């Protein structure tokens, strides 16, 4: 997929009014983890997202819709976004380096998210999220300097995955439900080139 340049300056605050388009629609997830029966379909939870860039950051914006928004839960028992980032030049490079995730949600603190994120999150990564009447929004910014460092110069690509937690209190006994755009990278259904974005 191509990453277009941002049409205007972006303020990372969870407000998506500056985004003209969120073209990636996820109403049939590539994977549901791990409480599969809790997701009842499109009316229960879905999301769309977009990716853009400027000279300093690659940005991901997410708009999640949910029939039962749930914030301020215990640990990760609430609604949130997880963005997974692979800054490597290719899938042949060491997967232990240059791969990380970041979690953000309307009531997720950085310390709370860090408990469940993986990989070495670089300095300069930023995130913001806001609740909405029918779900929530989120924005994540990935520093271009980080991509350059892992690709030996001017970066060419970044691999991304987006997951949204659709937590409903009635399903708490069976755990959270995360809807992934593409299969979760550390699981058995992952494939190496899923979600590669390149400069337009």
Strand partners, 33: 178
pLDDT score at 105:
96
Q: Read off the pTM.
A: 0.95
Please classify residue 191 by burial: count the beta carbons closer than 10 Å to its beta carbon, then call 0-12 exposed, 13-18 middle and 19+ buried. Answer: exposed
* 80-121 per-position pLDDT tens digit: 999 999 999 988 888 788 999 999 999 998 888 988 999 999
Strand partners, 83: 102, 162
């Amino acid at each position: 997929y191509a990453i277009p340049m941002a049409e205007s300056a972006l303020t990372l605050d969870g407000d998506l009014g500056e985004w003209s388009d969120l073209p990636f629609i996820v109403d049939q997830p590539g994977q549901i983890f791990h409480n599969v029966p809790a997701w009842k379909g499109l009316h229960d939870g879905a999301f769309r997202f977009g990716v853009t860039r400027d000279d300093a950051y690659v940005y991901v914006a997410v708009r999640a819709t949910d029939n039962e928004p749930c914030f301020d839960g215990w640990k990760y028992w609430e609604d949130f976004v997880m963005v997974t980032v692979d800054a490597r030049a290719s899938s042949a490079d060491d997967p232990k380096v240059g791969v990380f995730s970041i979690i953000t949600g309307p009531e997720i603190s950085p310390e709370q998210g860090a408990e469940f994120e993986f990989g070495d999150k670089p300095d300069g990564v930023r995130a913001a999220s806001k609740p909405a009447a029918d779900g929530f929004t989120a924005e994540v910014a990935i520093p271009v300097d980080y991509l350059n460092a892992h690709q030996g110069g001017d970066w060419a690509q970044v691999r991304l995955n987006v997951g949204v937690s659709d937590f409903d209190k009635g399903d708490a006994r069976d755990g959270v439900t995360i809807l992934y755009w593409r299969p979760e990278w550390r699981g058995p259904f992952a494939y190496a080139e899923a979600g590669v974005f390149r400069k337009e």
